[in-house]
Structure formats: C-alpha cells, structure tokens
Amino acid sequence: MNDAQDNRRPIAARSAGWARRSAAALARSAITPNQISVFSIVFAALGAALLLWRPTPAGLIGCALAVQGRLICNLLDGMVAVEGGRKSALGALYNEFPDRIADSLLIVALGYAAGWPALGWFGALAAALTAYVRVSGGALGQAQSFRGPMAKQHRMAVLTAACLIGAAEQAWAGSLHALQLATAVIAVGSAITCVTRTRGIAQALLEAERTC
C-alpha cells in the first residue's frame, strides 16, 4: 500500500491494541504489505467457495469468518505500510487491485448462493464502480471520498450479517432469504454510492471553479 495519508479509508480499528500489535509484529517480519494485500484474496476465495458449494449453516459461518479475515488483511496491509514504514513503489496497485478481486469473488458468489446470479454480477460491477469513482475524484485533485451508503466496509458488514443470519435461518427454516436480501441491498446500495460519490465530485469541482 502506498496511498497518501489523507487518502486512506478511515477505519476505527486502526487504534485498537490488537491491530497495532499485529501490525508491529508484521512490520518486523519478512512479510510485505503487498503480500498481505494479496492474501486477502485467499480469504475472499475461501468465503466465495463456501457460499457456492457449501451454503450450510457451518459453511455460512465459515464465510462470515473469511470475510472478516479479508478485512483484517485490508486493515493490516496499510498499517504495516504506513505506520510500519514499509511503503513500496507498487503499493498503490496492491492497495486497489486485490480489493476489486476480493469484492467480485464474494459478491458474485453471494448472488449465486441466493439464486440471483444476475443481481450478484450487477452488485460486483457496481461495487467496482464505486472504487472507480473514488479514484477518479483523486485523479481530479480531490481527497478520495469513501462515503457510502455502501462502501466496502458496509458491503462486507451486510455480507457478514447475512451469512450469520442465514446460518440460523437455514438451520431453523431451510431457507436463505437473508442472502437474497443482502444481494439486493449490496447491488442497489452500491449503485446509489456511485451516484453520491459522483455528485460529491461534481459539487467539489464546481465550488473550486467558483473560488478561482
């Protein structure tokens, strides 16, 4: 990861003791921030595989844990890079591309598990576009906007909750309505996020023009 400090996603967990200790230990090791970023894809692939081929109560709980593993990787890669002084020239690429792959794996798999594959693909596309809009704002000289309503942390929170609720739902009722609801919420919410971020960029550009 090699983003400027003001372009980092605001994450409250950075101040947690366990996160600081883990990041410090990783910074002293031979593991690089870029390797941590890539490892987030491993967690995402595991979660996607459980959604696709083992959407049982145990599999859904496993997927929820895999999603959290992915998020921990996303947290620690930046902390090791910035706080640990381990930035690299390729950090910006590794900060973005693994996230897009991980998001797509999980959201597409969610759509198939819910029985709505087309909506899953749409959700994955909309999620990728939220990042495209954010980075476009940065390319136009603005601080990158991580606003929602369905930014990455919100998408993964919805997916985690859906898996946990879905595990209980399937055990008791044999249905997976929670996964269907999550698929729709992520898809629609991501599309709305594209709009809110684009409007924010446009408003900032107009304000900058007026002040020139």
Helices (H) and strands (E) in the chain, counts: 7, 0
pLDDT classification of 151: cutoffs 50, 70, 90: very high
Q: Give yes or no for residue 16 having a pLDDT over 50.
A: yes
The pLDDT value given to residue 7: 65
Mean pLDDT of 2-10: 56
Domain span at 26: 5-211
Contact 123, 187 (CB under 8 A): yes
Contact 128, 186 (CB under 8 A): no
pLDDT classification of 1: cutoffs 50, 70, 90: very low
What is the DSSP annotation of 124-171?
HHHHHHHHHHHHHHHHTTSPPP---SS-HHHHHHHHHHHHHHHHHHHH
185 closest CA partner among 174, 177, 196: 177
Number of domains in the chain: 1
Q: Beta-carbon neighbour count of residue 202 at 10 Å?
A: 11
The pLDDT value given to residue 59: 97
What are the CA-CA distances from residue 22 to residues 38, 40, 80, 141 (Å)?
17, 16, 9, 33
Q: What is the pLDDT of residues 29-86, one digit of tens each?
A: 999 999 999 999 999 999 999 999 999 999 999 999 999 999 999 999 989 988 888 8
Mean pLDDT of 115-135: 97
Question: What pTM does this model have?
Answer: 0.92
Amino acid in the structure at residue 93 = L
Q: Give yes or no for residue 4 having a pLDDT over 80.
A: no
Question: Can you give the CATH number for the domain in which 188 is found?
Answer: 1.20.120.1760
Half-sphere exposure of 156 (CA within 13 A, CB side): 25
